Structure 1
Amino acid sequence: NEKARPWVRPVHGLPDEAFLRGKAPMTKQEIRSVALSKLAPEADAVVCDIGAGTGSCTVELALQAPFGHVYAFEINEEALTVLQQNIGHFGLTNITVVAGDASQTLKTLDIAPDYAFIGGTKGNLAAILDDLYDKNEACRMVITAISLETLAAVTAYYAARNGYQLDITQVSTARSKRVGQHHLMMAQNPVYIMTAVRQDAGEA
C-alpha cells in the first residue's frame, strides 16, 4: 500500500473503565502509564508480562508492540478467565497466554524476550529473572512492587549481578471521591517501579 500511513505509537495509560474487571488485582491507570513509559517497547518487540492478572498491562503492551508478540503469564484461574476476556474485548491477536507458574513455564518456551514487565512472581522473583536473562541477557526489565520485601529482593538481586543499572521510582497517586458537594482526594498505595537495563545495551 503506497498510501499507507506510518504507524504511530498509541498513548498508553487507558482508563481503568476500558477493561473488564474481576476480583484479581489490576494495575491502575496511573501506574500503568509510568511503568510502560519506563519499559518503552519497540513496535516489533517480544515482551513477557509476568503476573498478567486481568490483563490491563498485557493489552497495553500488545497495543504498543502491534508487530511484535506478548506472552502473558498468569497462575490464577479467575484472573486467566478475565485476561482472555480482555484480549477478546480489544480484538488482539498478538498475545499468547501461558497458564501456570511462570518460574516453571517460562523455561519451556523457545523465545528471546526483548522486554519483560513483572507485576507478580509468587515469591519466585530470582528464578524468573534468571530464566529471562538466560533467554536474553539484554532483556529490559520493569518490575512493580508495593511491598518493601519485594523492593529488597530486587535490589539484592541486582547488587549481586554486575553489568546492570537499576533505577527505582516511587509513584504515589490520589484519586478524587465525591462526598456530598465536595471532592476528597483518596490516596492510593505507593508503588515502586524498578527498571533494570544492561549497561552496555544503553537506553531504549
Structure 2
Amino acid sequence: MIHIKDNEFIRGNCPMTKEEIRILSISKLGIKEDSRVLDIGAGTGSVSIQLAKICSKGEIFAVEKNEEAIHLIEQNRKKFDVHNLTIIKGEALEVEEDISPGFDAVFIGGSGGNIEDIIKKYSLKLKTQANMVLNFITLDNLYRALNTLKDMKYQVECIQVSINKTRGKSYMMTSNNSIFIVTAIKP
C-alpha cells in the first residue's frame, strides 16, 4: 500500500484523517488498483489522495461542502500529481442524485450530523458485497450508524483505535482522539 505521511499533506483548519487511522480505514475498504471509490466528508483530502494513489487505474470521488477544505483537496491533488480524483462540491445529501451508482467501496469520514440518511442514500451507490467504511469520534454518531447498518442487514465490524505518539526530546507520549472504525459489508 502506498503510504503518505501526515506532514506531507498541505493542511489548514479542516479536519484530516490521521495517518494510522487512514491506513487502517483504507485497508478495511478492500480496494484494488482499478476500484471506483467514494469519499464522503473528504476534509483535506488525505483519504482521497491516498486512495487515488493506490487505485491508480480506478476513479476516486471526494464529496466535500467546506470551501476551505475543497481548496486544500485541490492543492493536495496538484502536489501529489493525482489525475483520477473528482471533487464534488456540496453537502452529501444535496449532491447524492448527481452521483452515479456502481462503487466498489464507500468511505464516510464526515456526515454533518446526517449519518442515517447518508448511509441509506449512499448504500444505493455501493455494489453488493462491497465495503462501506465509516470513522467516528462520538459515541452518538457511532450508535446511530450501527443501528442503521443493522436495520439494513449489513455485516458489521467495529474497532476502536487509540494512537499515542512520542513528542519532543523526552519522548513524552501524547494521544490523538480515540476513533471508531466501522466496516460494513453490503448484503
CA distance in 2 between partners of 1:110 and 1:40 (Å): 20
Match of 1:198 in 2: 186
Q: Which ranges of structure 1 fall in alignment gaps of 5 or more residues?
A: 1-9, 200-204
In structure 2, the residue matched to 1:160 is: 151
Verify the 8 A CA contact 2:104 2:127 in the aligned structure 1.
no
Give yes or no for the alignment of 1:117 onto 2:107: yes
Q: Which residue of 1 aligns with 2:52?
A: 62
**Identity among equivalent pairs (%):** 35
State whether residues 42 and 48 of structure 2, in contact with CA within 8 Å, keep that contact through their aligned partners in structure 1.
yes
TM-score norm. by structure 2 comes to 0.95
RMSD: 1.3
Please tell me whether Structure 1 or Structure 2 has the larger radius of gyration of its CA atoms: 1
- Alignment equivalent of 1:149, drawn from 104, 127, 140: 140
Aligned length: 186
Stretches (4+) displaced over 6 A: none
- Aligned to 2:29, which of 39, 47, 60? 39
Q: Equivalents in 2 of 1:136, 1:81: separation in Å?
A: 27
Matched ranges for 1:127-146 at <5 A: 127-138=117-128, 139-146=130-137
Mapped contact 2:2–2:53 kept (Cα < 8 A): no
Counterpart residue number, 1:104: 94
Q: Counterparts of 1:169-184 in structure 2 under 5 Å?
A: 169-178=159-168, 181-184=169-172
Aligned with 2:28: secondary structure? helix
Structure 2 residue runs of 5 or longer lacking an equivalent are none
For 2:55 and 2:35, locate their aligned partners in 1 and report how far apart those are by CA, in whole Å: 6
2:70 aligns with 80
Q: Which residue of 2 aligns with 1:3?
A: none
| TM-score for the superposition, normalised by structure 1 | 0.87
Structure 1 letter corresponding to 2:97: K
